[in-house]
A = this chain, B = another copy of it.
Amino acid sequence: MIVETRYQDLYTPDDPFTMESGATLPNVTVAYETYGTLDASGTNAVLVCHALTGSAHAAGLHPGESTPGGWWDSFIGPGKPLDTERFFVICSNFLGSCYGTTGPLSIDPSTGRPYGMTFPQMTVRDMVTVQKRLIDQLGVRQLRTVIGGSLGGMQVLEWGVMFPDSVASLIPIATSAQHSAWSVGLNDIGRQAIMNDPDWRGGEYHGHGQPRRGLSLARQVAMMSYRSEREFAGRFGRAKRQENGDRFDPENIFQVESYLRHQGKKLVDRFDANTYLYITRAMDLHDVAYGRGALPDVLASVRHPALCIGIDSDILYPAHEQRSIAEALLSAEYREIASPYGHDAFLIEFEQMASFVREFLR
């Protein structure tokens, strides 16, 4: 399945985007990919919402790629749970990200330089508003479902509230209806790690290189929250880089330390530090009830058939939180993934995820 990321100018200076904060963006370009074919009625589309560091490249091969680089390739394609012989699958990079959609790394037309920290703070609702305009332009009349985990699931819930007639069902996975104090705390620690780094330069690092140590550290904190004690015990134990090396040698670190630093470096090489600040803040501001009344009432007003999925070992968006969302929605079922992998299990436990989603979409 060869795909290309496409780019759509959704807002222009003549038709600017007004954000939830009241700020306006004169231009919004969105990067997106589609897989499969939209049917004549415009009702077989599935919107896939990505998480913090994801992109529009969810599945398939880009020209030149030797192995599929999409972040959910196992899930999207012919015969796969999001079956492209049946569905027109859309994944768009959300507003404020750094993979082709307008965000802090984009050029501010008024200065000719990257927005950086002058980009207005976007919200999950802003992301969904932009997605709605994209699916309208693609000719979608009603989405068959919206699916996503983590920050992706926050978008799913907002879809149910903001555009109830434009979506037929919802699949929020390992997410929050209101970002918890726990998750806010973890995000804030990551932000401090970035902003403490002198190479962050108050966000004006463009042309100087990223705040590498800070962004790496933010990622490492996040990685701990995406995984679990049980997985680390089985995977690393007390293994050291050199088992026969000097145990007092500061260079002879534990494999878990080496793993975390490697994960940090990998993110630094592919993600923008200011963007990380903006997206984590958008997550922290996420609250489906904000300005709409009490949370139970807001969730009960969502009448779509919904499949809520939790993970038994998730310490970031715990299973009890997913059960609560399922109970509060008017017509939701709850399924739980049994896994040692923690929050990331929704990207790892293919068999369980596939069976839940196939059954729901049948």
Which A residues are closer than 8 A to B by beta carbons? 21, 121, 178-182, 184-186, 188-189, 192-193, 196-198, 213-214, 217, 220-221, 224, 228-229, 232-233, 235-238, 247-248, 253-257, 260-261, 284-285, 287, 290, 315, 318
Contacts and interface: CB of A to CB of B under 8 A. Distances in A.
A192 B256 CA distance: 14
Given A196-B196, A217-B193, A238-B287, A185 B315 contact: no
A229 B318 contact: yes
B197 A233 contact: no
A194 B226 CA distance: 23
Contact of A179 (B178, B188, B238, B285): B238
A260 B186 CA distance: 10
Contact of A185 (B185, B214, B256, B284): B256
Contact of A217 (B179, B186, B192, B287): B192
A256 B181 CA distance: 6
A25 to B, nearest CB: 15
Contacts of A318: 229
5 contacts: A182-B256, A185-B260, A189-B260, A198-B198, A238-B287
Given A238-B287, A247-B290, 7 more contacts: A178-B238, A181-B235, A181-B237, A181-B255, A188-B260, A193-B217, A315-B315
A290 B243 CA distance: 12
Nearest to A23: B248
Given A196-B196, A214-B196, A217-B196, A188 B257 contact: yes
Nearest to A179: B238
Contact of A189 (B179, B221, B233, B287): B221
Nearest to A318: B229
A230 to B, nearest CB: 8
A254 B178 CA distance: 13
Contacts of A188: 253-254, 256-257, 260
A323 B44 CA distance: 52
The 4 closest A-B CB pairs, nearest first, are A181-B236, A182-B229, A181-B232, A181-B256
Contacts of A198: 198
A284 B260 CA distance: 15
A121 B248 contact: yes
Contacts of A254: 181, 184, 188, 284
A236 B192 CA distance: 20
A189 B254 CA distance: 13
A315 B217 CA distance: 20
A250 B306 CA distance: 35
Contact of A224 (B186, B229, B285, B290): B186
A274 to B, nearest CB: 13
Contacts of A193: 193, 196, 217
